[in-house]
Amino acid sequence: MSELHPIGLTEEFRSKLEAVDSRFVKEGLLFARERTWQVYDQICGSLCEGMNEVEARELAKKIFAEHGVKKHWHQPVIRFARGTTLTFHQALCGDVFLKKGDPVFMDLGPVWLHPVTDMEYEGDVGDSFVFGRAVSATEDEAKRCAETVKILFLEGKAKWLKEQCSGKVLYEFLEKRTNDLGYRLVKDVDGHRVSEFPHQKHTKVALPTVEFYPTAYLWILELQIVHPTLPIGAFYEDLMF
């Protein structure tokens, strides 16, 4: 007989791709998500004109530490200007300095201790915006790019919920929609599992390769797009539920 999964699945059906600890509760991931979005807002309000991406990471780590975060399942990634076209995997730009009108995105991955279960859960959120005010055509394009990636996220989430499509079908849809809206989807930025820390003990499989309907509360939908001609990109990610 298959063992009941803590959020209602069977281990037999999902195998290791959606495995969690026997003490796992979805409220732990919701707690981590909420706290991470709160700190995201605080970091946004603390960015200063003239800082570079390396300094922004250190600022984010300092703010998280003030909230009791002792580890990150991945280090904060904060990109400015042309850096927004680069991915999580590429080095931060020490020679790009934040100025008004620049596109900015953040990708945050702290680990939070859940006060009820006393287990560590992974937060993983990201968003894009334009820093300050500097009326220019570039600023307008950066705003449109940031708005577009949010639209794509919401369209993707709606399709997943309505059609119960696989991760593979979902990302095929999102690539087409990105092209339709005049941008390019960055393919090596993928959705993935989250869980009690670390999710890698269960799987490192990317969401676009998953050929079943991803279960709510266990996956991150992650998107990065870039402008076809300008050095502008945008990023958005959040928990699927």
pLDDT at 2: 32
**Cis-peptide into 115, omega within 30 deg:** no
Domain spanning 11-239, CATH class: alpha beta
Instruction: Please report which residue ranges of 164-224 form alpha helices under DSSP H.
Output: 167-180
Type of residue found at 54: V
- Give pLDDT < 50 ranges for the chain: 1-4, 11, 13
What is the rounded (10 degree) CA torsion for 176, 146, 65, 23?
A: -30
Distance in angstroms (rounded) separating the CA atoms of residues 143 and 92? 22
Q: Quick one: tokens of 95?
A: 């020679």
Q: How far is CA 95 from CA 78, 230, 238, in A?
A: 14, 19, 29
pTM: 0.93
pLDDT at 136: 73
pLDDT at 3: 39
